[in-house]
Amino acid sequence: MNDAGGLLLTILLSSLLPGIAIFFLAEHRRRLRIGLNLTGAVTKLVLVGVLLLGVLRGDEYRFSLPLMPGIDLVLAADSLSLLFATLSAVLWLVTTVYAIGYLEHSPRRSRFFGFFSLCVSATVGIALSGNLITFLIFYEILTLATWPLVVHRGTPAALRAGRLYLGYTLTSGLVLFTAIVWLTLLAGAEGFTPGGYLESLAETHAVTLQVLFVLLMVGFGVKAALVPLHSWLPIAMVAPAPVSALLHAVAVVKAGAFGIVRVVNDVYGAELALELGLTTGLLVVAAITILYGSIQALRAQDLKQRLAFSTVSQVAYIVLGVALAGPLGVIGGLVHLVHQGLTKITLFFCAGNFAETLGIHKVREMDGVGRRMPWTMLAFTMGALGMIGLPPLAGFVTKWHLGLGALQVDALWVLWVLVLSGLLNAAYFLPPIIRGWLGERREPWPEPMREQIGPTRFETHWMLLVPTLLVAALSILTGLLAAVGLSPLGWVAVIVQRDYIIPGLDT
Amino acid sequence: MSGLVETLAPGLLYPTGGAILFALGLYGLIRRHHLVLRILALNIMGSGVFMVLLGIAARGEGPPDPVAQALTLTGIVVAVSATAFALALVVRLARLTGNAIILPGPPDDDAPVDDISRLEHHAHTEAPEHIEPTARSGERR
Amino acid sequence: MTLPGEAWLTSGVAGLIALSLLLAVLATVWPRQAHRIGIAGALAVNAWVLVLGAVFLNAGPEPMAAATRVALGSWEAPLGLMLHLDGLAMTLLALTAVVALATSLYSLGYVHDRIERRQFWPLWLWLWAGLNMLFVSGDAFNLYITLEVVSLTAVALVAFTGTAAAVSGAMRYLLVNLLGSLSFLMGVVLLFGEHGVLDLVLLEARAQVGPTERMAAVLMTAGLMLKAALFPVHVWLAPAHGSAPAPVSAVLSGLVVTGSFYLILRLWMGVFAPLATPAFGVLIGLLGVAALVWGSAQALRAGRLKSIVAYSTVAQFGYLLIAFPLMLVEPTAWRVVVFFAVVHALAKAAVFLAAGTLQHAAGHDRLVDLGDILRGRLRTVFALGLAGVSLMGLPFTGGFVAKYLLLEAGLGTVLAGSAIGVLWVIAIAGGGLLAAAYVLRMVAPAFHQGRIRRGEAVSAWMDWVPLGLALVAAAAGLSGTLVLYTLSLTPGAP
Amino acid sequence: MNLLLVVFDLALLAGLIGVAWRCLASTDLFRAVVLFITFGLLLALAWVRLEAPDIALAEAAIGAGITGALLLVTLERLRVIIAGRRSDRPDTVPPDPSGPGAALQALHDPPPEPRTRLPALTFALVVGSLLVTTLWHQPDAAGLEPVVDAHMDASGVDHPITAVLLNFRAYDTFLELAIVLVALLGAWSLGRHDRIPARPAPGPILPGTLRLLVPVAVVTGVYVLWAGSHQPGGAFQAGAILGAAGILLVLSRPRRMPPPPGTLLRLGLGAGVGLFLASGVYGLLAGHGFLGYPPGWDYPLIILIEVAATLSIALTLVALFIAGRPEGDDRP
């Protein structure tokens, strides 16, 4: 069992140690830095793969370290944590390559990649956390490690965004901290248990549990950008594109959503949450967030702003699925964790490519870009269509299951929300696509990248293009091959089957 | 009459006197600004404490308590040491600022503090440094 | 291997005191070699404390078996003086050793002028010896004397830079300290007059609730609060700590202030324990909240790096006051408080040392003009930030574990039905946010765009020691179980 | 217990309180210092009345004598500094002429502003009356006198106070010596010493008196030291007397002080604590406890420590009077 726990620790250290080494690296040691980065990312991916196989075999992994009397730091691997860990490991590798290409010529790369690695370590830590306190620890480390990335450019706007980001996340962190201490005081430092571990308290402490649930949701809701706690997210767009991609697709926003999933499923348990009437509120908040985010996205003219509000809306699907508290809904929510990640990172990479290569920031500047950068535009189109939920792309799979889930628990109004948001999605994603392919540009492109580094062999730097196409392909494949056993959907179904023995599940 | 005399035994009288001296010193410490006077006030407070201690030692029948007397002796030596050091500090302060009082009010937060590890000897940097803050605060306004 | 217990412990305690005094005396008569004596001594004392700690822990888990009383000159109390070693004293001795070692190494680089070195080291070694003696002293009058040793050396070290700000800060500090000492001494005299003994254990056994205890408690607590700069008698702290040389600031904020607080805790857990009432606890707790708010507000306004850190000490000590009402509800909460103080001392010392390095490199510590140096010295900024994270109480640091335990105690009082407990919880949780705000003020300029400059060259010690100590402060997060266990070996305490 | 003594006590206490009050209320600092010295002498009288001749001796020598000398020389230094007469120190900053009466603040303190009177008075009254009430409630505890008495035969000396100071509570006394030394280290760290601001006294009277006084002081000091083992007296009083003689010597020839060799001076200053500590560590190693004496060796060791302590105290007090560190101390 010790060796098995060691694997978890190694996964954590595989990004942490290179990160620390990078901090102390001189700025000009470019090759060494890239080597460390890629070694870390690849090692992590391989190790997560090993872990995945192990868990599939039915091995148990657990690492614990006494922190305080009665309270341990616990790392554990269950199917749910692997879902998130795998997603992070894959996307980290891709984003690292992209970030190396993106930041090629900017200063302070050692600092950037140091915190970048720290950030991913924290994310994987969150994925592998075995109890709420461990979760909290990595969650707060993630907050701190992301801040330097947000303010990386050092402009007044970046610093303002950083302050806002810290203000929101630290405050919510304290709420979360208080709630977790309180919960631990009541129920002990239990590990995450499928179906929850609080039933014994339901009789005596019903009100307390309700209050705590609200506090926990506020704590996680800020990072998950649930309305009205979302304001930091669009403003944090000033960060470099790989950071935005990381914030939106992998680390921060997902950490919040993942926390909500953990609390509903593994701390309270869907049954208890239903019994205490907690899911209805969450469902309403998620629905409002979905619609509000879409409407704001429609109004935003800046491409990254539009994507940011789209994130607000899309992440709420995950929460929605969990709050439906029926097996099909949970499948829809969890699978969207992956689908949204892949799709959104594609879109952000594309937006980054447009901005870096041609200086495009606004939607209306996209006229005719499809001719100058066909590959990127293709990836963008696939991502956007996936978001809209066009069959058979990933977004459709999500929405299909969410819809079924809503029917399963007789929440018909949720269907309307889904339809409405699908229309809104189309309304804000179709214009850039139409402009890109069908629009025409008269004057020549500004070409800031060419001026900086000279002509490139492809439509843009290959380190920007390859990751973009890769994630686009992945996002298409997850949709197309959803029925295959090892697809995210298949894996989620396994999770739901194995961990949530809910009657009525027939897949 | 004898009752009164009994009541006013040294074991009661002197502790009372000590308490009064303690309070008096405290009053002086609060009221006076000159540092030498403040140091005198502290010394008078200290004498008050010693008087209470020796008064207590003389209470009751029998010879006075030698431990209390030894403690007082120690206390007096500590007091003179602290006084000597405090006076050296007053002289130093007067040399630097031309004043032997601590100006009331919050400390000037922007007064530069320099770093001893950079100096060969204190003496060389004190004068310009003393002038600097006023010049800068003028600028800011 | 079995470690011999009792005999080792008694000679270990006396030997530690003898060793630290020997170092101070040697440095005094041989100032030319004082820095070498100091470093060799710092290593020796650390080794000694390590062994002492091992023997001490090995003697547990029964508190009475581990705790030791040492009769000096083989005269037992009440005639003679007793030293005592228990979990509380052991913890603080270890803390002192670690911080003092870091400070000593740092001073090798910081105080490099030949003549200044000769003045600095003897005073510093006397201060260290004084702290060690304070933590093991078991006699009320002896406590007064050790407090005076600590005060005089601390004041002298504050005045050490010789600038007007430093000397004026030192003067204020000295007056406050002398007043505090006299107030404390008057309390000791009152207790002696009532009970005829000075030994703390004997006093505790004889103490009851009476006018003498009440008055003595007021006088001694007020005196120690003055020395510890606890709200509302904290005004002297920032000028003194902010203008002292960096290693001295580190020791003052980390150890000296903690020493006075230790004594308050020791007295209220022993002699004055019967006096503590809930109303009194609430009063102290309210002072703590005020300290937290006021200190943080000042730290958010201060214009100089070291002033921010100094005001942060006032704020952080607010937590220690808030802990008093918690202790009345949950008696074992005192261990949490001590753990918090230990973690704070480590982090605060690291922050001050880092600030000293930056100040040295820049030649000043005005925050507005410090950006270029902050950008040029990321290692030091990293140390500052890491220790700052510990002050905020965020993971993965000692501060987080301390904050967790404190919050747990606070919520415990709420669950026990105390309405005002909600205020304590809000203060404990919200204080971290204020701390984050002022730590961010110090660190954020490193991320601004602008010129990058490394400034004046600094010695390797000044470059690496702050980082090392910050890492220790962070690693203290893993020491929670050990420290709390050590503290549980305190007889008489819950 | 007779009425006369009570009247004496009351008069003495009234005098003490009155003098202290006048001292703290005076605006002229010189006057305040003189009143403080008077206060010290009256205190010595009170200590005699409380059957504490040791303390009376110490108070007269240290409390009134040495402290008085320190205060007077400080006033003189302040006068010189503020008047700006001294130009041999480059770091002397002339007083801010616009400051409120800067030049006067050296030796005068304006009467305190009335608005602090009431709060200060209330505070002091509350503290004082609480203290008095507490003290009146206390029992006539016997204290530690019987315990000390019971152990006198094992102490090595005949005088109970010396037994307490150098044997039973030797640790306190060691630290007390350390504090004297630390105060000096602190004063030295502030800078080099300057010349004593004394004006050479014209005429033969001062040198003549000194020639007579210093030997007398030395003899008295040695006697007081020796007497300490069996009657009132001891190292601190003796050190103070010798120190006073040293101060007189310094005052008489302010410009002709030979710079003492650094190492020797440091050794002399540290002799008291050094010897004390050495004996204490030996006690620890030999199994008599830290600061314990081997049986039979207590008397000689106590005397030895006292001699060293006297020397160190006298030297330290003189050095504290001179205040700054000597030039010889800074030599490489």
pLDDT attached to residue B121? 34
Please state, in angstroms and rounded to a whole number, the distance separating the CA atoms of residues A352 and A360: 9
Residue D167 reports pLDDT greater than 70? yes
Any chain D CB within 8 A of the CB of C417? Answer: no
Is C159 in contact with B38 (Cβ distance < 8 A)? no
Instruction: Say yes or no: D136 contacts chain B, CB-CB below 8 A.
Output: yes
Which is nearest to C349 in space by CA: C394, C309, C385?
Answer: C309
Looking at CA atoms only, how far is residue B42 from chain D in angstroms? 10
Q: Indicate the residue of B56, B75, B82 with minimum beta-carbon distance to C193.
A: B56
The yes-or-no verdict on residue A483 having pLDDT over 70 is yes
Q: B: neighbours with 3+ CB pairs under 8 Å?
A: C, D
Decide: helix, strand or coil at residue B103. coil
Give C-chain residues touching A66 at CB under 8 angstroms: 481
Shortest Cα–Cα distance, B29 to chain C (Å): 9
Answer yes or no: are the C-beta atoms of C387 and C462 closer than 8 Å: no
Nearest to C329 by CA among C201, C194, C420: C420
Residue D264: the pLDDT is: 87
Q: What is the pLDDT of residue D200?
A: 60
Report the length, in residues, of chain C.
494
Nearest-CA distance C127 → chain A (Å): 33
Residue type, C162: G
Q: Give yes or no for D189 touching C (CB within 8 A).
A: yes
Neighbours of chain D (3+ CB pairs under 8 A): B, C
Give, for B101, the enclosing helix (H) or strand (E): none
pLDDT by 10s per residue, chain C, length 494: 444 567 788 889 999 999 999 999 999 999 989 999 999 999 999 999 999 999 999 887 888 888 888 888 888 888 989 999 999 999 999 999 999 999 999 999 999 888 889 999 999 999 999 999 999 999 999 999 999 999 999 999 999 888 888 898 899 999 999 999 999 999 999 999 999 899 999 999 988 888 999 999 999 999 999 998 887 778 788 888 888 899 999 999 999 999 999 999 999 988 998 888 888 889 989 999 999 999 999 999 988 999 999 999 999 999 999 988 888 888 888 999 999 999 999 999 999 999 999 999 998 888 888 888 988 888 899 999 999 999 998 888 889 999 999 999 999 888 888 888 899 999 999 898 999 999 999 998 888 888 888 888 889 999 999 999 999 999 998 888 899 999 999 887 77
User: In this predicted structure, what is the pLDDT of residue C221?
Assistant: 94
Q: Which amino acid is at A267?
A: V
Going by pLDDT thresholds of 50, 70 and 90, the confidence category of residue D106 is low
Q: Do chains D and A touch (3 or more CB pairs under 8 A)?
A: no
Interchain CB distance below 8 Å, B1 and D176: no
What is residue B6's predicted lDDT score, i.e. its pLDDT? 66
Whether residues A166 and C440 touch (CB distance < 8 A) is answered with yes
**Residues in chain A within 8 Å Cβ distance of C478:** 65, 67
Q: Which of B:80-99 have CB within 8 Å of C?
A: 81-82, 85-86, 89-90, 92-93, 96-97
Residue C482 sits at the chain A interface (C-beta within 8 Å): no
Is C64 part of any domain? no
Give the Cα separation of D32 and D187 in Å (integer): 24
Give C181's contacts in chain D (Cβ within 8 Å).
none
Measured between beta carbons, the chain D residues lying within 8 angstroms of B16 are 13, 132, 135-136
Dist CA C271 CA C229 (whole Å): 22
Q: What is the mean pLDDT of chain B?
A: 75
pLDDT value for A169? 92
Do residues D265 and D328 make contact, with C-beta atoms less than 8 angstroms apart?
yes
User: Cα separation of D302 and D312, whole Å?
Assistant: 15
- Chain region(s) in chain B for CATH 1.10.287.3510: 2-104
Residue contact D138–B8, C-beta within 8 A: no
The predicted pLDDT at position A470 comes to 87
Structure tokens at A251: 């680390």
Looking at residue C112, what is its pLDDT? 85
Mean pLDDT in residue range A345-350: 89
Q: Which is nearest to C216 in space by CA: A138, D131, A67, A170?
A: D131
pLDDT tens profile B3-50: 666 667 888 899 999 999 999 999 999 999 899 999 999 999 999 999
| D148/B56 Cβ within 8 A | no
Pairs of CB atoms within 8 A across B/D:
306
Residue range B104-128, pLDDT digits in tens:
544 444 444 443 333 333 333 333 3
Side-chain half-sphere CA neighbours of A354 within 13 A: 29
Is B15 in the C-facing interface, judged by CB distances under 8 Å?
yes
Q: State the Cα angle at B15 between B11 and B20, rounded to 5°.
A: 150
Place D183 in a pLDDT band, splitting at 50, 70 and 90: very high
Task: Tell if the CB–CB gap between C156 and B15 is shorter than 8 Å.
Answer: no
What percentage of chain A reaches a pLDDT higher than 90? 17
For chain B, report the end-to-end CA distance as a whole number of angstroms: 74
C49 within domain boundaries: no
pLDDT in tens, A64-75: 888 888 888 899
For A170, the closest of C401, C425, C436 (CB atoms) is C436
Tell whether C436 is within 8 A of chain A (Cβ): yes
Query: Is B132 part of the contact surface with chain C (CB cutoff 8 Å)?
Result: no
The mean pLDDT of B57-66, rounded to a whole number, is 84
Q: Token pair for residue C124?
A: 């510093």
Q: Cβ(C425)–Cβ(A178) under 8 Å? A: yes
The total of structural domains in chain C comes to: 1
State if pTM tops 0.95: no
Q: Among all residues of chain B, which has the CA nearest to that of C164?
A: B96
Record: contact B42-C179, CB cut-off 8 A? yes
Confidence of residue D102 (pLDDT cuts 50, 70, 90): very low
Predicted pLDDT of residue D1: 53
User: Residue B81 and residue D179: Cβ atoms within 8 Å?
Assistant: yes
Higher-pLDDT residue of D180 and A230 is D180
| Topology given in CATH for the domain delimited by B2-104 | Helix Hairpins (1.10.287)
CB A376 within 8 A of CB A360: no
Name the residue among B40, B85, B98 with its Cβ closest to that of D96.
B98
pLDDT tier, A170 (very low <50, low <70, confident <90, very high otherwise): very high
**Average pLDDT over chain A, rounded to whole?**
85
- For the ranges A278-287, C231-240, C383-392, D159-168, which has the lowest average pLDDT? C231-240
Kindly state the percentage of chain C with pLDDT values over 90: 61
Given a cut of 50, is residue D248 above it in pLDDT?
A: yes
pLDDT tier for residue D213 given thresholds of 50, 70 and 90: confident
For residue D5, the model assigns a pLDDT of 87
Number of B–C residue contacts, CB under 8 Å: 152
The alpha carbon of D206 is separated from its chain's Cα centroid by a whole number of angstroms, namely 24
Partner D contacted by C174 (CB < 8 A): no
Q: Which band of pLDDT confidence, cut at 50, 70 and 90, is reported for residue D86?
A: very low
Nearest CA in chain B to C150: B82
Of D133, D137, D170, the CB nearest to C73: D170
Closest Cα to residue A12, out of A147, A144, A137? A137
Judged by average pLDDT, the poorest of A76-80, A179-183, A287-291, B76-80 is: A76-80
Is C394's CB within 8 Å of A154's CB? Answer: no
Mutate which: A182, A186, A205, vs C, most C CBs within 10 A: A182
Interface probe for B, chosen from C139, C168, C458 (most Cβ of B below 10 Å), is C168
pLDDT given at position B3: 65
Q: Which residues of C touch A111 (CB under 8 A)?
A: 378
Token reading at D119: 């709060």
Range of the domain at C328: 277-488
* CB-based contact B109 C186, cutoff 8 Å: no
Taking alpha carbons only, the member of C425, C429, C405 closest to residue A189 is C405
Q: What's the rounded mean pLDDT across residues A156-175?
A: 91
Output b/e per residue, C121-133; b: 16+ Cβ within 10 A.
bbbbbbbbbbbbb
Contact D131, B19 (CB under 8 A): yes
**Do B84 and D112 lie within an 8 Å CB cutoff?**
no
pLDDT at B132: 33
| Strands C82-85, A71-76: pairing kind | unpaired
ipTM: 0.90
The whole-angstrom distance between C118's CA and the closest CA on chain D is: 8
Q: What are phi and psi of D297, to 5 degrees?
A: -95, 0
List of chain D residues whose C-beta atoms are within 8 Å of the C-beta of residue B77: 58, 62, 176, 179-180, 236
- In DSSP terms, which residues pair with A475 in a beta bridge? none
